[in-house]
Amino acid sequence: MHDPPQSNQNDCELFLSYSRKDILAAQDLHRSFTHKGGLKVWIDLEGIEPTRDWMEEIRRAILTKHIFIYLKSRHSEASEMCQFELSRAREFGMRIIVIDLCLEDSSLFDKWDVLRLPYRLEPEELTSRIALIVANESKHLI
């Protein structure tokens, strides 16, 4: 378990994990979180190859963020990279928020302390819920 970086309320950052096959949903959420919610989000939109340096960069990015958002879909559940990111987030003791892109049930998260939100919510509703969580988490970072 790691201690999240010390921060003030405006510095709480999110790590957004998603499968490349779900990039449109990830882009929509990223845009909503950053433009409408004013949130700081780390996301890989470039599609960098998973080299050794890239794996270290991902690990470092996860380690320095406060909240891990996992876009759950059949694609992300089958993605080795998404599972790597998710396992690092758990290893580092991050706050994990799961946004379900599909309505399939998964018992994987039943045992974890995670917040699950349905993607079918309007982007503004998802953004406001995430912003509220960030505000609450930020109180613990000061």
Q: Tens of pLDDT along 103-114? A: 555 554 554 555
**80-91 and 52-63 helices, crossing angle to 10°:** 40
pLDDT value at position 78?
94
pLDDT less than 70: residues of the chain: 1-11, 46-52, 103-121, 123, 138-142
The pTM of the full predicted model, rounded to 2 decimals, is 0.73
pLDDT value at position 117?
67
pLDDT digits (tens, 9 = 90+) for 114-124: 566 666 667 67
| 132 in Cβ contact with 104 (< 8 Å) | no
For the chain, where are the alpha helices, taking DSSP H only?
23-31, 52-63, 74-78, 80-91, 123-141
Instruction: Provide the phi-psi class of 38: left if phi over 0, else alpha when psi is between -120 and 50, else beta.
Output: left
